[in-house]
Amino acid sequence: MNRLETTISTLSDLVAFPTVSSDSNLDLILWMADRIGAAGGRVRVIASDDGTKANLFATFGPEGDGGVVMSGHSDVVPAEETDWTSDPFVLREEDGRLYGRGTCDMKGFLACIMACLPDLAEATRPMHIAATYDEEVGCLGGQQLVEVLRAEGLRPRLALIGEPTSMRIVEGHKGCCEYSTHFHGLEGHGSQPDRGVSAVEYAARFASRLLELRGDLRGRAPANSRFDPPWTTLQIGRIEGGVAHNVIAGLARVDWELRPVSKDDQIRATRTARDYCNDVLLPAMRTVHPDASIVTETIGEVQGLEPVDDNEAAALVASLTGANGADVVSFGTEAGLFQSLGCDAVVCGPGDIAQAHKANEYVEIGQLEACLDLLTGIARRPA
């Protein structure tokens, strides 16, 4: 088979693994590991703490720092939409498109990597393959992998994250941080509110402070920001608590998110929220109920990819694709994690993000061909 035929066949195999984030990805990871190892790659399978999932990290070429890491996540979102016209875990080809869950986001990219294994085996600089778990629920596997690489002192020079960008170069995206703040007060009869601690009322005060903070963040928009909107956004997704009209609420929760344009904004916002809870709300709650508490749970923190003036990864991709310029996007990826490791990072991959997370997800065969040309060019580029 030629490279494209191999890619399509491999994508069919990858789609058949139902690696929804709530389930294990081990079968897919071990399948990839066997094939990469057979092609001469040095393969490591890094298990999650509970052992139900794993990252794959494989290397071709010389040992040591430098080189390129090509990264994609192995998990997919659930395929529970009712308007699928075929089995989401069976690849279907029609009119130049390949349909199935994960074809676009982002098993198409992983299939292209697997089809390029012979070229990677001939590389003269380190070429790394990363396949992570639980990207869709907070980049959990990517965080683990980057921490392992940091602890071991391994520093790839460049990172290519193959999220679906229609093969456009993306050099920046905001972070995405999700939190749930839980309020534990003291239930009581509504006729005597001073004898209870209403978790709902304190949650409402917290939500009001978050809205004030949102305005502050808007005023901190960088002058040269290319994001839309250009500032760090904050929004409240859900407030829940209480049991009845006449019962003082003992429990409440506020779900909120940040999409920071910089790490500094993330630190400033979370610190402000924490200090308001600890220094203002909690002392007031404990004047009535010493065991009252406020706990903020981190659901997920996806690090942003900050655009930089000299991005060698973006320059390499541009030289091979002929692209003019680079974009920023609103969706998150694992690129910021690799940037934090010291890599020049870029996002570029086959498929349109508009097709992700929906019924009849697909990737165009032409997009896979363009991705194969890019990966082959990278593998054959002299060290």
Q: Which residues are catalytic?
A: 75, 135
**Dihedral angle, C-alpha 120, 123, 125, 128, nearest 10 °:** 10
Distance CA 59, CA 43 (A): 7
Residues 6 or more apart whose CB falls under 8 angstroms from that of 297 comprise: 179, 180, 181, 182
Token pair 């960088």: residue = 222
* Phi, psi for residue 253 in degrees, rounded to 5: -145, 140
Residue 141 has a CB neighbour count (10 Å cut-off) of 28
Residue 272 C-alpha from the chain's centroid = 25
Residues near 78 by beta carbon (within 8 Å), at least 6 away in sequence: 20, 22
- The helix/strand/coil state of 323 is coil
Task: Strands of the chain (E only): list them.
Answer: 42-47, 54-60, 68-73, 92-94, 97-99, 127-132, 158-161, 170-173, 176-184, 188-189, 233-241, 247-248, 251-259, 293-302, 327-329, 344-347, 362-364
Strand-pair category, 68-73 with 158-161: parallel
Judge contact between 254 and 285, C-beta under 8 A. no
Please give the Cα distance from 315 to 124 (Å, whole number).
Answer: 19
**Does residue 257 contact residue 217 with C-beta atoms inside 8 Å?**
no
Q: Are 116 and 379 in contact (CB under 8 A)?
A: yes
